[in-house]
Amino acid sequence: MSRLLTSAAVFALLAPAAFAADIPVYEAPPPLVSPTPIAYNWSGFYIGAHGGFGWGSGAFDDGPVIGGQIGMNWQWNNFVLGAEGDGSWVDFGGADAIGSARLRAGFAFDRVMVYGTGGAAFDDFSDVGWVAGGGAEFALTPNWILGAEYLHYDFGSDEADVIRGRVSYLFGAF
């Protein structure tokens, strides 16, 4: 009888091991990854500051440029359209301030945007001319943007070529 009890006890202890092969094994699901990365959105209202240097001709001398800009961008796929106004204090001899109201059109490569721009220019906010140029911007964070641009101001016989760096704060999509 003792052999029968010993055999039954050993069988009872080993039987669950025989069924262990049929227990399903839990596998964690694969991580959720977007098939395409989410691109940066350039749409929204922004405000910023700029500084640089200008080379003048006519009544304009060479001199520093410092000021601010305010604008709005709209993005469709990779295309960005915008409107911007700016004002700058200058030391061009023949002018103490220049400003512009411009349209911008660009192409975005995620956090980098290249653009062309053009519009009306104002010398000492009284004489009217035109301005055209281009630039590039890089989004450091979702809100802070660094950029560089070239602008050519033309007021008839007085002209200036300006290169300036920019920093802007984008308030985000609307």
Phi, psi (degrees; rounded to nearest 5) at 20: -65, -25
To the question of domain 44-170 being in CATH 2.40.160.20, the answer is yes
pLDDT in tens, 139-164: 999 999 999 999 999 999 899 999 99
SS3 72: strand
pTM for the model: 0.77
Q: Residue ranges of the domains in the chain? A: 44-170
Answer whether residue 174 shows pLDDT above 60. no
Say if residue 61's pLDDT is above 70: yes
Please state, in angstroms and as integers, the Cα–Cα distance from residue 32 to each residue in 35, 49, 110, following that order: 9, 40, 21
